[in-house]
Amino acid sequence: MTRKYILLTILSGVIGLTIACNSNDQGKDSTTSGDTSAATTGTTDANNPKGVGPHQNVQLTHPLDEKMVAEGINTYNVKCASCHKITDEKLVGPGWKGVTDRRTPEWIMNFVTNTEEMLEKDTAAQNMLEVCLVKMPDQNLSEAEARATLEYMRKIDGKQ
């Protein structure tokens, strides 16, 4: 009886963690501003939806820059695919599908280029770490690689 109880308790925790990490709707308050702005959600620090770092005004392309998308795919394959899926499914880190609906472009750029400081100071980054339990290592992305990766994320999310 005790073994079954322990097993059920562990299984419940794993299922709960998986659901929490994969939830795309929890805290969602999506709004968009034209074709040049990603949505902001309630999960981003309300006092600073752009995150912590140098990226405070990211200019997006419309339509998508397919050359940047291709560069972003390459960066994803080399530096990101081992931890992130392009679906909403969690691998080591959260899946990327819907990320541009949940986070501003500035937040994404700040997180991928300024990970340590974001994890220290940004509420949304800290909450993500608490749920996913793994700290993203610094990938040493150049500004161009980070921007191309953001463009690829936008393509994954059906932006045009």
* Cα torsion angle, 98, 104, 108, 109, sign: positive
CATH number, domain with residue 40: 1.10.760.10
Query: In the prediction, which pLDDT does 46 show?
Result: 62
Query: In the prediction, which pLDDT does 34 show?
Result: 33
Query: In the prediction, which pLDDT does 32 show?
Result: 32
Residue-range definition of the domain harbouring residue 18: 2-156
SS3 state of residue 90: strand
Query: In the prediction, which pLDDT does 105 show?
Result: 98
Instruction: Count how many domains the chain has.
Output: 1
28 Cβ contact partners less than 8 Å away, ≥ 6 residues apart: 41, 42, 43, 101, 102
User: Block means of pLDDT (10 residues each) for the chain, length 160 residues?
Assistant: 48 39 37 32 63 95 97 98 96 96 97 95 93 92 97 97
Query: In the prediction, which pLDDT does 48 show?
Result: 81
Q: Are 95 and 155 in contact (CB under 8 A)?
A: no
Query: In the prediction, which pLDDT does 108 show?
Result: 97
